[in-house]
Amino acid sequence: MAYKHRIEVKEGRETRQAAVESVAGLQVIVGAAPINQLANPAEAVNVPIRVRSMDEAKELIGYSEDWDSFPICANMYASFEEFGLDNVIYINVLDPAKHKKSNTEEEVTVTNKQAVYKKPLVINGTVTVKNQESPLNEGTDYLLAYDNDGYVVITILGTGSAAEAASVKVTSESLNPTMVNASDIVGGYDPSTGIATGLSAVRNVYFKTGLVPAIIAAPGFSQEEEVAAALQAAIYEINAVYNAIALIDLDASDCKSYWTVAEKKEAFGAVDKNVVILWPKALMQGKTVWYSAIWGAAAAYSITQHDNIPSKSPSNEALPIEGMVNGDGTEVLLDYAEAEQVNSAGVVTAINYGGWTSWGNNTACFPEDNTVANKYICNRLMANWYTAHFVQQYKKYIDDPNNQRQVENLVDSENLYLNSLTTSNAIAGGRIEYVPGTEEDVLTGNNEFRITMAFWTPQEYILGTMVISEEMLIQALTEAAGGEE
């Protein structure tokens, strides 16, 4: 640590609320990130990056207010600025080696030894500067930095060869997020190199961070059938043992009215029990954003507010939005009956009854699959969460001696845990029991345990029956008259 003998003040960023641990509802967001300002942008491509705050997001993967070009950044704003979450995994697929454009040489005026090069998304390490036709050397003739608007500031050094220059000529390369397409998001796994890209890189989340994905989204791309199909494949048997839920946006440019939601969903073909379909788009900070960028953050926050157990439905949870819109920006306002029609198709929406909230409990498998275990989002989150718990808790038992005490220890330990979940109302009930195996099972060390659980269902409907009573009126008037005597 540098020696300090001073008094000083450093300005920090206001935090809206204390960060809340969001492991049980861990979001994994795949998309294009503005990595151009990083010291080595190539190191932030197709790798899971764990982010715990907006400051870390800017430092580790980049942040931009251009949410149209970088939908991943809308999730950063919702997760860290609005909900104060701690722990989101981002996988950036934008590769500066191929998703880029060359900027033609431009002459920039030097004022007070500084020239502001107003090209957006300039990739760190690609800037070249000349004084007339003479190449200049960074560190000797000039220094480079990014300003608050993301532009490159060229500071001319008084000891360099361009000390008196009135202008400099600059060339560079910039990121081009419009080049990122569905194939980049889908990605793939190359067994010959062991390299995973796009959604296939979800497999590396646990290896890199020790955390298990719970919610996987690709805002800005999930409305495309190719990406939606890849999302539905990516959520199962992660690292061979874990499952997650996927968020898929129903394209609000093609589906503009609640009347057409069921038809469009059916044509889209997403009917998986671990998929949440969202419609329409949202307005946040005056910008149109994909709903999945916000819903995932709201669901993760809700889980943190319930002991990091996803027993509470993520429906009817507050959203940091100003409205909902379809693809052309037309406002979408739904009353209960209209929202019910959307929900009845297995699609989640949002309503404004004294504040915007998420609205919808059903996964994409509904109404075709009406079973309690599959149709409710909270029950799928609970099933996936419990799977992760069981694997994490008892993986240490693998390769231990396979004796009766070992079996009893597992059963006793897990029944105590299930009882605690029941007592705290996290679940309706649960038990685990050993299933005796065959002689072959015993000889090969295979043990089976049957886990029976019941999850609470969301209270979707409350009816209050009101009776207008003439008898009560007469009695009240009679008592009043008697009181006057």
Q: Are 17 and 206 in contact (CB under 8 A)?
A: no
Query: Is the residue at 441 inside a domain?
Result: no
Query: Is the residue at 2 inside a domain?
Result: no
Phi–psi pair at 82, nearest 5 degrees: -90, -45
Task: Verify that 40 and 57 share a domain, yes or no.
Answer: yes
Task: Verify that 161 and 284 share a domain, yes or no.
Answer: no
Task: Verify that 367 and 218 share a domain, yes or no.
Answer: yes
Task: Please state, in angstroms and rounded to a whole number, the distance separating the CA atoms of residues 390 and 362.
Answer: 25
Domain CATH code at residue 109: 2.40.30
Reference 181, options 122, 229, 216, 221; nearest CA is: 221
Strands 275-278, 27-31: pairing is unpaired
Query: Is the residue at 345 inside a domain?
Result: yes
Band (pLDDT 50/70/90 cuts) for residue 15 is: very low
Q: Are 218 and 70 in contact (CB under 8 A)?
A: no
Would you tell me how many other CB atoms lie within 10 Å of the CB of residue 329?
A: 10
Identify the pLDDT of residue 22: 53
Task: Verify that 270 and 350 share a domain, yes or no.
Answer: yes
Extract the tokens encoding 71: 């939908």
Query: What H or E segment, with its residue span, contains residue 54?
Result: helix 54-60
Task: Verify that 45 and 77 share a domain, yes or no.
Answer: yes
Specify the number of domains making up the chain.
2
Region 167-191: mean pLDDT is: 97
| Residue 484 pLDDT greater than 80, yes or no | no
Identify the pLDDT of residue 373: 95
Identify the pLDDT of residue 17: 47
Task: Please state, in angstroms and rounded to a whole number, the distance separating the CA atoms of residues 316 and 318.
Answer: 7
- Our measurement of the distance from residue 320's CA atom to the centroid of its chain's CA atoms, rounded to an integer in Å, reads 15
Q: Are 245 and 215 in contact (CB under 8 A)?
A: yes
Task: Please state, in angstroms and rounded to a whole number, the distance separating the CA atoms of residues 94 and 83.
Answer: 26
| pLDDT (tens digit per residue) in 16-48 | 444 545 578 999 999 999 999 999 999 999 999
Q: Are 168 and 115 in contact (CB under 8 A)?
A: yes
Beta strands per DSSP E along 32-137: 48-51, 85-86, 88-92, 100-109, 114-117, 128-131, 134-135
Average pLDDT, the chain: 94
Identify the pLDDT of residue 30: 98
pTM here is: 0.92
Task: Verify that 152 and 270 share a domain, yes or no.
Answer: no
Range of the domain at 156: 100-175
Query: Is the residue at 404 inside a domain?
Result: no
Distances (CA, A) of 87 to 212, 240, 442: 11, 23, 42
Task: Verify that 279 and 169 share a domain, yes or no.
Answer: no
Sheet holding 114-117, edge to edge: 114-117, 152-156, 142-146
CA angle 453, 458, 461 (to 5 degrees): 145
**Tokens 């430092």 belong to residue:** 59
Question: 311, 338, 373: which is the final residue of a domain?
Answer: 373
Region 47-63: mean pLDDT is: 97
Task: Verify that 223 and 289 share a domain, yes or no.
Answer: yes
Q: Which residues contact 138 (CB under 8 A, 6 or more apart)?
A: 127, 129, 144
Q: Are 365 and 272 in contact (CB under 8 A)?
A: yes
Strands 287-289, 347-352: pairing is unpaired
| pLDDT (tens digit per residue) in 95-129 | 999 999 999 999 999 999 999 999 999 999 999 99
Identify the pLDDT of residue 447: 94
Query: Is the residue at 145 inside a domain?
Result: yes
Reference 238, options 391, 436, 88; nearest CA is: 391
Identify the pLDDT of residue 483: 59
Reference 28, options 396, 458, 384; nearest CA is: 384
Query: Is the residue at 136 inside a domain?
Result: yes
Q: Are 145 and 152 in contact (CB under 8 A)?
A: yes
Region 255-283: mean pLDDT is: 96
Task: Verify that 52 and 76 share a domain, yes or no.
Answer: yes
Query: Is the residue at 450 inside a domain?
Result: no
At residue 13, what is the residue type?
R
Task: Verify that 71 and 184 share a domain, yes or no.
Answer: yes
| Residue 1 pLDDT greater than 50, yes or no | no
| Residue 8 pLDDT greater than 60, yes or no | no
Identify the pLDDT of residue 482: 75
Task: Please state, in angstroms and rounded to a whole number, the distance separating the CA atoms of residues 362 and 458.
Answer: 10
**Tokens 């001073």 belong to residue:** 6
Phi–psi pair at 24, nearest 5 degrees: -65, -30
* Three-class HEC string of 176-223: CHHHCCHHHHHCEEECCCCEEEHHHHHHHHHHHHCCCCCEEECCCCCC
Task: Verify that 65 and 212 share a domain, yes or no.
Answer: yes
Task: Verify that 301 and 154 share a domain, yes or no.
Answer: no
Q: Are 363 and 380 in contact (CB under 8 A)?
A: yes
| pLDDT (tens digit per residue) in 427-471 | 999 999 999 999 999 999 999 999 999 999 999 999 999 999 999
